Amino acid sequence: MAIVVPCYLFAVLIMERTINITWIILLALTGISVILSQFVKDYIAAIILGLAIFKIIGVALNFMELKKAHLFWQVLIIGFTLLICVILLLL
């Protein structure tokens, strides 16, 4: 007797694994940001902002599922994120 398994089940398992890995990376980047914020150097703010860029892109692509969206939206969100970060660095 054969057991029928829907093909989308494997896609759900792979997606769940990707989301878990992304979540762990986000936690690690947040911890690194907290540790770095204890140091008083001129360049620490730029490093923390760089880590924030990776966090924003990770959330946008995986949790908001923009990696499945049209390329226009991916470029738009990454470009907007970089633009805001450059403006913040120039202030």
Enumerate the domain spans of the chain.
Answer: 10-90
pLDDT, residue 36, reads 92
pLDDT, residue 9, reads 61
Amino acid at 61: L
For residues 19-43, give the mean pLDDT: 90
Q: How far apart are CA 44 and CA 40, in angstroms?
A: 7
Under DSSP, is residue 61 helix (H, G, I), strand (E, B) or coil?
Answer: helix
pLDDT band at 3 (very low <50, low <70, confident <90, very high): low
CA angle 58-64-62, nearest 5°? 40
pLDDT band at 11 (very low <50, low <70, confident <90, very high): low
For residues 35-47, give the mean pLDDT: 88
For residues 5-9, give the mean pLDDT: 63
Q: Is the pLDDT of residue 87 over 80?
A: yes
Instruction: Give tens-digit pLDDT for 44-78.
Output: 989 999 999 999 999 998 888 888 899 999 999 99
pTM (2 decimals)? 0.75
Relative orientation angle of helices 71-90 and 44-58, to the nearest 10 degrees: 160
Compute how many other C-beta atoms are within 10 angstroms of the C-beta atom of residue 20: 10
Give the residue from 78, 73, 72 showing the smallest Cα distance to 58: 78
